[in-house]
Structure 1
Amino acid sequence: MRHKISVVIPALNEEKNIKPLTLKIIKVLKKNKFEIIFVDDSSTDQSKKILLALSKKYKFFKPIFRKKSRDLTQSCFDGIKKSKYQNILILDADLQHDPKYIPKMFKEFNKGKDIVIGARKLTSGKNKGLSETRRFASVFLIFLFKVFYIQTKDPMSGFFLFKKDIYLKNENRFFGKGFKILADLLINSKAKLKTKDVFIDFNRRYESESKMNIKILLILIQFYVTSLIKKLLT
């Protein structure tokens, strides 16, 4: 089945990954109508130059250059607002999310799911792309988020497929900042969303460094506390 899809990719200093990822996406989606929206979050490397060159080469390639304060969730929101198709795929720019899983995700999506998640295998030793420290942090965070009864094994994933209407109908309800847009969608959408996990091999990061830092962790804690208070008051 052919699909129309907007691929939204938040990016910060990913100059070495932009073109390889773009070529992988083109290969997977070549039989579909699609657009690729890289949202550059004020990179300081050669990302802008590469993105502009690709936009001249491909009509479906539409970069966005943010000049606001850096924030992955807001980058995703900016991309979603600019998208022209109802099917939205979010994935990271660092090649840790392999586009080869997109057809399998669409197969599940067509069964009437609201969100299909590329879920990481978080059992120790199952994923070479995930350090033991990061795996433990993800498992701990997922444990905390169980209070919200989220129907996924990996609410921390940055690789997922959903309908644009979910964003449009809940835009004013989202926490709207930080690194975990998926958890925001799942927790703060008004209606309970039907989800499905597609388990993926999480690739090793090759040409960029993790963006995770203390500031981002503090925002994540703020998100958790804010969402928990909202849940208790409703």
Structure 2
Amino acid sequence: MHITSDNPSTKMIGANESLVSIVIPTYNEKENVVPIIHNLHSVMQKINYRIIFVDDSSPDGTAAVIRMMANSYPVELIMRPRKMGLGSAVITGVNSTSSPFIVVMDADLQHDPNLVSIMVEKLTAGFDLVIASRKVQGGRVVGWSPERKIISDFATYLAHLFVPRAKNIKDPLSGFFAFKRDILRGVSLESRGFKLLLEILAKAHYKRVCEVPLVFRERRTGKSKLNLNEYLLFILLLISLAKYK
């Protein structure tokens, strides 16, 4: 196990770098860490992978559980001194690895770990960016209220309206995606809020993108991280990305 602080000069790069790094930001996800590691390991045993957890000093003991699991699984932990946001946590994890393939997913078990191997296969087949999509055929959301579905659809509409490079992507606001790290060469990500995929769609150097169906289920434990501040950051992100064609 590697434990490091949130220091831009600190890299976890070695001669035996994994083919796939799975970056998972955490804040108060103690109950979800063990099942997500077990589930990922069951589908990734034939692939050289590692899981990079980026924890914002969760008060519930999330980091202690990650440390324990790292004794038996290819798990690494990056500890940050305070709650600094989902988007910046993902960027910290991405910057910590030189793996050619990177997967980003949440720790709340709403993202199906079984899709990770499928997404990696798509990258191997030549796609640059693979999105787990709630909005393609076969994908859906389970357990949302009608009001939340309306908000999600409106946010997607705004993403298509403001970000030209996202207009052909059915679910540009997904938090579950995989990409070749080369598409970020020379790209500066600002991590405003939690919609990092939208920023990647606007700025990155990719040619082939595909979406695979995701059944997005209700959170089993813990609380949603969405709040008014995140929605405000989303609006600011849209405005900042409108210039990218």
Query: Structure 2 length normalisation: TM-score?
Result: 0.84
How far apart are 1:105 and its partner, in Å?
1.9
Does 2:36 align with 1:33?
Answer: no
Other-structure match for 2:180: 163
- 1:150-189 aligned at under 5 Å gives the runs 150=166, 151-170=168-187, 172=188, 174-189=189-204
How far apart are 1:68 and its partner, in Å?
4.7
TM-aligned CA distance change 1:167 to 1:67, over 3 Å: farther
Deviation per residue, 1:180-220 (Å, 9 max, x gap): 0100100122x354210001111211101110000111111
Which one is further off, 134-143 or 197-206? 134-143
In the alignment, structure 2 segments of 5+ residues that lack a partner are 1-17
The alignment covers a number of residue pairs equal to 224
Other-structure match for 2:86: 72
Q: What is the distance in 1 between the residues matched to 2:136 and 2:127? A: 23
- Contact 1:122-1:139 within 8 A present in 2 as well: no
- 1:128-143 aligned at under 5 Å gives the runs 128-143=142-157
Q: What is the distance in 1 between the residues matched to 2:148 and 2:132? A: 17
- Contact 2:25-2:54 within 8 A present in 1 as well: yes
How far apart are 1:146 and its partner, in Å?
1.4
How far apart are 1:6 and its partner, in Å?
0.5
How far apart are 1:227 and its partner, in Å?
1.5
TM-aligned CA distance change 1:192 to 1:26, over 3 Å: closer
Q: What is the distance in 1 between the residues matched to 2:62 and 2:173? A: 26
Residue of structure 1 aligned with 2:59, choices 41, 44, 56 = 44
TM-aligned CA distance change 1:122 to 1:113, over 3 Å: closer
SS at structure 2 position matched to 1:146? helix
TM-aligned CA distance change 1:131 to 1:41, over 3 Å: farther
Amino acid at match of 2:63: K
- 1:176-215 aligned at under 5 Å gives the runs 176-189=191-204, 191-215=205-229
How far apart are 1:104 and its partner, in Å?
2.3
SS at structure 2 position matched to 1:63? strand
Residue of structure 2 aligned with 1:95, choices 101, 109, 115 = 109
TM-aligned CA distance change 1:103 to 1:52, over 3 Å: closer
Deviation per residue, 1:8-40 (Å, 9 max, x gap): 001110000000000000000011111111111
Amino acid at match of 2:184: Y
Other-structure match for 2:25: 10
TM-aligned CA distance change 1:92 to 1:131, over 3 Å: farther
Other-structure match for 1:115: 129
Higher helix proportion: 1
TM-aligned CA distance change 1:122 to 1:209, over 3 Å: farther
Report percent identity of matched pairs.
32
Q: What is the distance in 2 between the residues matched to 1:98 and 1:207? A: 15
Segments of 4+ in structure 1 off by > 6 A?
A: none
- Contact 2:122-2:130 within 8 A present in 1 as well: yes
Structure 1 vs Structure 2 CA RMSD:
2.1
SS at structure 2 position matched to 1:109? helix
How far apart are 1:120 and its partner, in Å?
0.9
SS at structure 1 position matched to 2:116? helix
Q: What is the distance in 2 between the residues matched to 1:98 and 1:18? A: 14
Q: What is the distance in 1 between the residues matched to 2:214 and 2:140? A: 10
Q: What is the distance in 1 between the residues matched to 2:75 and 2:26? A: 14
SS at structure 2 position matched to 1:165? helix
